[in-house]
Structure 1
Amino acid sequence: MLGLKVEVPRRILGYLLIVFLAASFAGYLFAIGNPGAAMDAVKKLAEQIDPTSDSSFENFVKIFTNNSMVALFMLLSGLFFGLGPWLIMAFNGFMVGLVVRAVQESGELSFPQIILGLVPHGIIEIPAIALAGVSGIIWYREIIKGEGETGERFKRGAVKALKLFALSVLLLLVAAVIEAYVTPRVAGI
């Protein structure tokens, strides 16, 4: 089928997701012990992100663009000794845990609303971001451990990585549609 078969290294993907979840838990616990620092971090994060628009389409474009850039960064960071995606997943997980606890502490949303604000799109978005990280890691591994000349290994790794990256971006497109159009209605936000 046009050479589009994509093999996903499930073990790496699974470990990246575990790192995200563990870091989310750590961020949540940190926020419990340091509510002031958590609120300050959330305020700084909110300042960096544009306020949400009343237009679902504008939100969709912003969400998809931002997540695609994160995915690209995950891909490219994998080329740095295969370590970048692990650090990015840990940081993002920590921030999610921190934000969940800070929003919960603020009382603006109930815990079920917070969960409903994350789960519908997050169950696609987080693995898609991790998949982009996997693409960078396998590219790096192909360059280092593959057979043949360096140029051949680089190209072979790039082809494998770009196939996974394309799948990641497609999943991010679906997640952005859900986040912009479905999540606000489901969570009542």
Structure 2
Amino acid sequence: MFSIFTFAKDLSTIRKALLLAVILFIAGGALGWAGTESLQRLLAGQLEGLREISQSINSSDQPQWNFFIFIFLNNSIKSVVIIFLGALFGILPALFLLINGAVIGYLIHISAIQGADLFELIVKGLLPHGIIEIPAIIIACAFGIQFGGKVISEIFSSASRREQRSGSWPIFMRQTLTASIWITILLFVAAIIESTITLALLS
């Protein structure tokens, strides 16, 4: 029920939602790179908040451990919650993808303007943990979008069609539970990498 093979099979049933999630994330990245001044101010505020948290963690007694705890809890809780918030017509997972993509796009763009080494930023700062973290977040949002799509279908379908599809809900809810477990595991691994390998590469 909760095996990795079941999880992989479940992903094949939400291919359209996965594709849409990837498109939204890339679109967010493009918006962050070439965004308006007001959007850039918003994203700069997001990064400033993260910078303040990072400085607070660095000044603690066990910065590496606290960094891991913050990254893991922040990402895993948000990702699992966003699956079920997708019940609100899939709007929040879509916004979550756009914002996360925009933050990365803006970060890369502003770093390029400031003359930073983009190879170091991407290969050392983003890739080691991002290769796991970003797909996990996209998968979580894809399940949220799928959730929203099912809710919309229920609302606008006839009574007979709703009755025919009623058996699909227990299957989907089991899929969200399996996804929540594996997304949490993936983000746990990503947090370990980010708090150890990524930090070592950037230090």
State the AA in 2 paired with 1:159. R
Q: Scaled by the length of structure 1, what TM-score is found?
A: 0.79
Match of 2:186 among 165, 171, 175: 171
Structure 1 partner of 2:20: 15
Conservation of the 8 A alpha-carbon contact between 2:17 and 2:143: no
Aligned to 2:87, the other structure's residue is in SS state coil
Percent of residue pairs identical? 25
Aligned to 2:35, the other structure's residue is in SS state helix
- Select between 136-145 and 164-173 the one with higher mean Cα deviation: 136-145
State the AA in 2 paired with 1:173. F
Structure 1 partner of 2:121: 114
Deviation track 1:119-155 (CA, whole Å, cap 9, x = no partner) reads: 1111111110111112223344455458648986544
Q: Does 1:41 align with 2:42?
A: no
Q: Does 1:71 align with 2:75?
A: no
Q: 1:165 to 1:42 in 2, by over 3 A?
A: closer
RMSD: 3.1
Counterpart-to-counterpart distance in 2, 1:3 and 1:34: 44
Conservation of the 8 A alpha-carbon contact between 1:23 and 1:93: yes
Q: Scaled by the length of structure 2, what TM-score is found?
A: 0.75
Conservation of the 8 A alpha-carbon contact between 2:43 and 2:103: no
Unmatched 5+ residue regions in structure 2?
155-160
Conservation of the 8 A alpha-carbon contact between 2:29 and 2:101: yes
For these two proteins, the number of residue pairs brought into alignment is 185
Deviation track 1:40-70 (CA, whole Å, cap 9, x = no partner) reads: 4356433663424363222111100000122
Higher relative contact order (CA 8 A, sep 6+): 2
